[in-house]
């Protein structure tokens, strides 16, 4: 296996000495440069719908929450695809809650639209879906499937996703892999009740699953969800509870780069939300190589409220484009061209 072993990972997660941590950032940045280069791949994120049948206890678009719901029309989606093409993005990510109205046929049509009309690589992120659906979308041309497992700790998983099982989610990832998708997953950092040991196991699981994409963001409390006003008894003692900070998140990004050197790793919006000033830069200089600007029509953006005060939520796609180009250049990096798939298969 690449990178540190479990005890090495744990030591880094608990490290507080800034000069030692500088070695971790340096090593992760070096592996990033050597393995995936200086390109920062741009994935245009389109939020298709904020309807969801799940009750995830951390998420602001959970079923049952009072919230104005939206679903993009076919015309609106077509406009997003044109915008992605105009802005030069090689990939679109079609994301939604687990919305039963996003039927097999409807999504297959969206995939064909993105491929034929705009020639884009398509990543789907639509939750736990049946084998048949995954197969139909793959046949329609979808390239990648993204399904974060959120935590590798089966007990914690049950607590934050009532009625759901970690094993079932991992099975969907395996199935997507068998169907020939590039597969992505990821976790939240600092979930109430998340221990350092379980976070180390999250990172080891990324390597075991041999993921092409790994998204890591801090847990952000949403006050109108059960976990957003977490009862103190859910939190572990301070020495055991993982903090949901930018530093801890970038430690996980850096360690992920070491154990999955060829993976595509985004500097997430959640990281930019806990550190609006420099969250993206911290991610991109500590192992990340992907930026996912939103292409969701402005009037819907704030309604995809998985957590509050999301970074960039009030910005237009054009202003995001200007901002990210400037910030990527400021790091001496270059925006990616083309679909930006996996650099190479793991050895």
What is residue 260's DSSP assignment? S
Q: Which is nearer to ligand 5AD, 43 or 222 (CB)?
A: 222
Smallest gap from residue 262 Cβ to ligand 5AD (A): 22
The pair of three-digit structure tokens given for residue 304, joined into one six-digit string:
């995809």
Looking only at residues 270 through 299 of this chain, which bind ligand 5AD when binding is defined by CB under 6 A?
Answer: 270
Q: Which is nearer to ligand 5AD, 31 or 220 (CB)?
A: 220
Q: Which stretch binds ligand 5AD (CB under 6 A): 25-33, 81-89, 156-164, 217-225?
A: 217-225
Tell me, residue by residue from 96 to 135, as one string, x for binding to ligand 5AD by CB under 6 A and - for no binding: ----------------------------------------
The pair of three-digit structure tokens given for residue 60, joined into one six-digit string:
């602001």
Q: What is the dihedral of CA 208, 262, 82, 333, to 10 degrees?
A: 140
Measured CA to CA in angstroms, residue 5 lies from 1, 28, 256, 303 at distances of 8, 15, 12, 41
Give the residues across from 39 on adjacent strands. 334
Looking only at residues 43 through 62 of this chain, which bind ligand 5AD when binding is defined by CB under 6 A?
Answer: 58-59
176 binds ligand 5AD (CB under 6 A): no
What is residue 229's DSSP assignment? G
222 binds ligand 5AD (CB under 6 A): yes
Q: Which stretch binds ligand 5AD (CB under 6 A): 42-50, 198-206, 215-223, 249-257?
A: 215-223
Q: Which residues contact 131 (CB under 8 A, 6 or more apart)?
A: 175
140 binds ligand 5AD (CB under 6 A): no
Exposure of 334 in the CB half-sphere (CA atoms within 13 A) = 9
Q: Which is nearer to ligand 5AD, 148 or 257 (CB)?
A: 148
219 binds ligand 5AD (CB under 6 A): yes
Terminal-to-terminal C-alpha distance of the chain: 9
What is residue 46's DSSP assignment? E
Residues contributing to the site for ligand 5AD (CB under 6 A): 58-59, 148, 150, 188, 217, 219-220, 222, 270, 306-307
């Amino acid at each position: 296996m690449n990178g540190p072993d479990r005890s090495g990972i744990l030591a880094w997660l608990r490290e507080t000495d800034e000069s030692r941590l500088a070695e971790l950032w340096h090593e992760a940045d070096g592996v990033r440069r050597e393995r995936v280069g200086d390109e920062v791949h741009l994935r245009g994120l389109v939020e298709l719908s904020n309807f969801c049948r799940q009750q995830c206890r951390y998420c602001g678009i959970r079923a049952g929450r009072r919230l104005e719901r939206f679903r993009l029309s076919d015309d609106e989606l077509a406009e997003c695809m044109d915008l992605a093409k105009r802005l030069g993005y090689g990939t679109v990510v079609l994301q939604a809650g687990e919305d039963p109205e996003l039927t097999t046929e409807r999504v297959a049509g969206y995939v064909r639209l993105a491929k034929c009309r705009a020639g884009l690589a398509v990543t789907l992120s639509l939750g736990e879906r049946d084998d048949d659906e995954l197969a139909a979308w793959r046949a329609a041309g979808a390239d990648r499937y993204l399904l974060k497992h959120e935590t590798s700790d089966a007990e914690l998983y049950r607590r934050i996703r009532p009625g759901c099982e970690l094993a079932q989610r991992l099975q969907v990832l395996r199935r997507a892999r068998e169907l020939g998708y590039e597969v992505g997953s990821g976790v939240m950092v600092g979930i109430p009740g998340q221990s350092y040991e379980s976070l180390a196991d999250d990172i080891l699981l990324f390597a075991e699953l041999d993921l092409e994409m790994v998204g890591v963001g801090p847990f952000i409390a949403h006050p109108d969800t059960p976990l957003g006003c977490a009862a103190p008894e859910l939190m572990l003692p301070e020495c055991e509870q993982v903090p949901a900070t930018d530093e801890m998140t970038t430690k996980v990004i850096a360690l992920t780069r070491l154990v999955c050197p060829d993976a595509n790793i985004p500097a997430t919006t959640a990281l930019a939300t806990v550190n609006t000033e420099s969250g993206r830069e911290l991610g991109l200089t500590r192992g990340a190589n992907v930026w996912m600007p939103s292409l969701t029509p402005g009037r819907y953006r704030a309604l995809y409220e998985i957590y509050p005060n999301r970074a960039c939520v009030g910005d237009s796609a054009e202003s995001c484009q200007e901002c990210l180009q400037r910030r990527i250049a400021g790091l001496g990096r270059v925006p990616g061209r083309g679909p930006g798939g996996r650099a190479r298969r793991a050895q």
